[in-house]
Amino acid sequence: MAMEMRDLPKKETKDQMLTIVQAVNDGMRTLLETDDRIMLLGEDIGKNGGVFRATEGLQEVFGADRVVDTPLSEAGIIGASVGLAVNGFKPIAEIQFLGFIYPAYEQVMTHVSRLRMRTMGRYTVPMVIRAPYGAGVRAPEIHSDSVEALFTHMPGIKVVCPSTPYDAKGLLIAAAEDPDPVLMLEPMRSYRAKREEVPSGRYTVEIGKGKRVKEGTDITLIAWGAMMPVVEKAAEQAEKSGISCDVIDLRTLYPLDRDLIAESVQKTGRAVIVHEAHFTGGLGNDIVSMINDTSFLYLRAPIERVTGFDVPVPFFALEEHFLPTPARVVQAIEKAVHF
Amino acid sequence: MNTHYPIKQVMDKEGRIVDSSYESLINEQLVKDLYYHMYRIRTFDRKAISLQRQGRLGTYAPFEGQEAAQVGSAMALQPADWMFPTYRDHGAKLTFGADMAGTFLYWNGRVEGCVPPEGRNIFPPAVPIATQLPHAAGAAWAERRKGTKNASIAYFGDGATSEGDFHEGMNFASVFKAPVVFFNQNNRYAISVPIEKQMNSETIAQKAVAYGMPGVRIDGNDCLIVYFEVMKALEEARKGQGPTLIEAVTWRTGAHTTADDPTKYRPADQGKDIVDPLLRMERFMKNNGYWDEAWVQETAERITAEIEKAVEDMESYPTPNVEDLFDYVFAEMPAQLAEQKQSYLTHLRGNQ
């Protein structure tokens, strides 16, 4: 079988109104159509179309050899994907929920992330791992983890986390085109929250680039994924008290967009970082260090962090108390502004 | 391999005895107890689905069709044994003595539902797949080290056999001669993936060969064979003979969970030939003169009342305590966590 990436079909691209999960589906469909090397692997992704319907309809079109229902084995999915990736394919592996990735953690930590280094570039692992993450949908226990920092800590794998349908498709295609492994965390709470225009066909959102979603002058708010709606709501509330917020959606968690963060904080002199992952060892700490390195003399207040607490993600009866809320973010904004 | 591991039964689909090996152990009390528990957990299961549909319960994993496997296995345990269930084995848990209101609470996102009753060792349900098998091996190994006759039972499904923890748990138990019964409920689907796509082996029982332990394949919808074979495996384990793998072939009548739609992946006519395990037991009881209409009626009423009471208890349970979020992470709360707790409680008070 000749395997190559075909040029984009030269037809007019039409915008479609899609949710995040539909945009992810459209991204995989686009990749399968335009790159013979793409294979999807995962539990229940074929006939069932995925437990969130992210792969709905793809096996029917592209066949069971390319959209593969695997055995129930996360280490198998990721480990076999390494073998496929070094040998000419581009696997996009779905882990059903991020909280179930741990059996595959060894594969990610010891092989996915360092095969390039261990072979001085002779073997590389151009693969994508997709996983829905986060709490707030009253899911059964363990289904709600948000452990991006376990992966941003490990050199050799990039981590992206879109918060909008447009970015979801664009980052997925960029991840598939990337010469290195990319973990894409998909905010399950936002999967069907809203629709927006998403171009059909192939386009990318650059990995490593954040996006300013609201221009402001008094304080920088930094978040990603499922925390974006929380931060945007907090920004609206803060505006009512006359506080102007510069809101940044990081989109890529490794490597971080240092320039965008520095430029914003140097303008506002204040920052609040919001993530639903635990406080200790959370990515917020890396962002604080980065601001310290780039913008220390511009700061007018200590940097605030609003995060999940240092407790395991609780059963859903208590999850609203675990997750950062607009009220907690507003409190942090006020603390920084009135420092 | 099917010929090496034929499906063992006590009764056929019509409830007639097909193998008399265990006939001398069958008596009216045992049969009525088994039927009682099957009826009880089925009523619970249907109630839970109905509560979920009314928005009174979270996502729920039903077990209808697997009652014989869950009741027969749990009834074979001794009170001091250890149970390691999955999220679909609350029927077995209830039979072994788990609290019913607590079981409802679990499915309502309440951690209180994971706490076993005093005097029973029931692990919280394993939500990640197959992770409980090594736990069962360890707990059983501890019993052996302590010189007791207590054993463990680990519940798991067909999909679990693809995970590394399945193999690691089986191997540990076998190497350390831990008194474990690895009780597999092969309901033929791991969410949407049928067993023939899950594995290339004809049976699950044959996987025991690799670990040097007995493997038994039984009709998981025949409550009597389940009870007797689990009892036998437990007795061997208690004698120091090590673990056994039992494959109970069964069928999940409904969805994987209330969030799942099995019509997407299961042919409509599949499973239609399967005789419901409760109906089989009813036929068996009728064939053997154990069926007593008045008793059945009285039992049904008693169970309905018990379940209504449990629902009431669940719904009148105190609202979740925010402090619980922080209080059970460590024996002694680290200072930084105490600060997080204090600051959040202050924040909550400020917003009231």
Residues B328 and B193 both lie in one domain:
no
pLDDT at A38 over 70: yes
Taking only the tens place, the pLDDT of each residue in B279-296 is: 999 999 999 999 999 999
ipTM of this model?
0.91
The partner residue sitting opposite B197, judged by closest CB among A69, A315, A331, is A69
Under an 8 A CB cutoff, do B193 and A312 touch?
no
The partner residue sitting opposite A315, judged by closest CB among B109, B164, B265, is B109
Q: Is B25 on the interface with A (CB under 8 A)?
A: no
Residues A139 and A82 both lie in one domain:
yes
Residues in A touching B193 (Cβ below 8 Å):
43-44, 69, 71-72
Under an 8 A CB cutoff, do A48 and B58 touch?
no
CB proximity list for B155: less than 8 A, separation 6 or greater? B70, B73, B83, B84, B85, B86, B89, B92, B132, B183, B185
Residues B37 and B140 both lie in one domain:
yes
Identify whether B63 is part of a domain: yes
- pLDDT value at residue A3: 52
Residues A184 and A232 both lie in one domain:
no
Residues B170 and B187 both lie in one domain:
yes
Paired with B217 in beta bridges are B247
Identify whether B115 is part of a domain: yes
Residues A157 and A92 both lie in one domain:
yes
Closest residue on chain B to A99 (Cα): B128
Taking only the tens place, the pLDDT of each residue in B118-150 is: 999 999 999 999 999 999 999 999 999 999 999
Residues B350 and B207 both lie in one domain:
no
Lowest-pLDDT choice from A10-14, A68-72, B82-86, B307-311: A10-14
Residues B210 and B271 both lie in one domain:
yes
Identify whether B286 is part of a domain: yes
Q: In the predicted model, what is the mean pLDDT of residues B245-257?
A: 97
Identify whether A129 is part of a domain: yes
What is the C-alpha separation between B50 and B310, in angstroms, rounded?
A: 14
- pLDDT value at residue B82: 98
Under an 8 A CB cutoff, do A321 and B322 touch?
yes
Under a CB-based contact definition with an 8 Å cutoff, are residues B34 and B95 in contact? no
Only one residue has tokens 């406080």, namely A279
Residues B223 and B101 both lie in one domain:
yes
Helix (H) or strand (E) holding A246, with range, is: strand A245-249
Q: Is A262 on the interface with B (CB under 8 A)?
A: no
Q: Is A6 on the interface with B (CB under 8 A)?
A: no
Domain count, chain A: 2
Taking only the tens place, the pLDDT of each residue in A89-115 is: 999 999 999 999 999 999 999 999 999
Residues in B touching A51 (Cβ below 8 Å):
191, 259-260
How many Å lie between the alpha carbon of A271 and the closest alpha carbon of chain B?
Answer: 20
Kindly report the CATH number assigned to the domain that includes residue B95: 3.40.50.970
Domain count, chain B: 2
Under an 8 A CB cutoff, do B325 and A314 touch?
yes
Q: In the predicted model, what is the mean pLDDT of residues A305-326?
A: 97
Identify whether A2 is part of a domain: no
Taking only the tens place, the pLDDT of each residue in A280-295 is: 999 999 999 999 999 9
Identify whether A7 is part of a domain: no
The partner residue sitting opposite A48, judged by closest CB among B128, B264, B340, is B264
Closest residue on chain A to B125 (Cα): A141
How many Å lie between the alpha carbon of B55 and the closest alpha carbon of chain A?
Answer: 12
Q: In the predicted model, what is the mean pLDDT of residues A31-37?
A: 97
Residues A123 and A224 both lie in one domain:
no
Q: In the predicted model, what is the mean pLDDT of residues B204-217?
A: 98
- pLDDT value at residue A6: 55
CB proximity list for B104: less than 8 A, separation 6 or greater? B48, B51, B57, B113, B310, B311, B314
Given the residues A111, A143, A275, A278, select the one marked as catalytic: A143
Residues B312 and B219 both lie in one domain:
yes
pLDDT at A324 over 60: yes
Q: Which of A152, A174, A199 delimits the end of a domain?
A: A199
What is the C-alpha separation between B26 and B38, in angstroms, rounded?
A: 17
- Provide the residue range defining the domain that includes B310: 20-320
Output phi, psi for B248, to 5 deg. Answer: -100, 110
What are the E-state strand segments in chain B? 82-84, 121-122, 152-157, 180-186, 189-190, 193-194, 215-219, 244-249
Name the band, by pLDDT with cuts 50, 70 and 90, for residue B2. Answer: low
Q: How many CB pairs below 8 Å do chains A and B form together?
A: 110
Q: What is the CA angle A187-A25-A23, rounded to 5?
A: 60
Provide the 8-state DSSP code for B199. -
How many Å lie between the alpha carbon of B195 and the closest alpha carbon of chain A?
Answer: 9
Under an 8 A CB cutoff, do B193 and A103 touch?
no
What is the C-alpha separation between A56 and A46, in angstroms, rounded?
A: 8
Q: Which residues of B are catalytic?
A: 252, 256, 265
Residues B154 and B259 both lie in one domain:
yes
Q: In the predicted model, what is the mean pLDDT of residues B293-319?
A: 98
Name the band, by pLDDT with cuts 50, 70 and 90, for residue B112. Answer: very high
Q: What does B97-140 look like in DSSP terms, one character per residue? A: T--HHHHHHHTTT-GGGGPPPTT-EEPPPB-STTTHHHHHHHHH
Mode of pairing for the β-strands spanning B193-194 and B121-122: unpaired
Q: In the predicted model, what is the mean pLDDT of residues B99-126?
A: 97
Identify whether B14 is part of a domain: no
How many Å lie between the alpha carbon of A258 and the closest alpha carbon of chain B?
Answer: 29
Residues A236 and A147 both lie in one domain:
no
Residues B113 and B71 both lie in one domain:
yes
Kindly report the CATH number assigned to the domain that includes residue A151: 3.40.50.970
- Provide the residue range defining the domain that includes A271: 211-337
Residues in B touching A72 (Cβ below 8 Å):
129, 159-160, 162-163, 190, 193, 198
Q: In the predicted model, what is the mean pLDDT of residues A51-60?
A: 97
Kindly report the CATH number assigned to the domain that includes residue A283: 3.40.50.920
Residues A159 and A300 both lie in one domain:
no
Identify whether A1 is part of a domain: no
pLDDT at A221 over 90: yes
What is the token pair recorded at A64? 């069971």
The partner residue sitting opposite A100, judged by closest CB among B128, B191, B320, is B128
Q: Which of A164, A199, A234 delimits the end of a domain?
A: A199
Residues A193 and A227 both lie in one domain:
no
Residues B326 and B227 both lie in one domain:
no
The partner residue sitting opposite A72, judged by closest CB among B111, B190, B322, is B190
The partner residue sitting opposite B351, judged by closest CB among A46, A49, A327, is A327
Q: Is B286 on the interface with A (CB under 8 A)?
A: no
pLDDT at A1 over 50: no
Mode of pairing for the β-strands spanning A38-42 and A196-199: unpaired
Residues A217 and A271 both lie in one domain:
yes
Under an 8 A CB cutoff, do B128 and A103 touch?
yes
Under an 8 A CB cutoff, do B351 and A139 touch?
no
pLDDT: which is higher, A12 or B206: B206
How many Å lie between the alpha carbon of B241 and the closest alpha carbon of chain A?
Answer: 30
Residues A179 and A274 both lie in one domain:
no
* Substitution target from B107, B197, B200, B323 for chain A, most A beta carbons within 10 A: B197
Residues A169 and A317 both lie in one domain:
no
pLDDT at B351 over 90: no
Residues B45 and B66 both lie in one domain:
yes
Residues B230 and B288 both lie in one domain:
yes
Q: In the predicted model, what is the mean pLDDT of residues A140-164?
A: 97
Q: How far is CA B21 from CA A77, A105, B215, B227, in A?
A: 44, 48, 18, 13
Which percentage of chain A shows pLDDT scores above 70? 96
Taking only the tens place, the pLDDT of each residue in B328-343 is: 999 999 999 999 999 9
Helix (H) or strand (E) holding A327, with range, is: helix A326-337
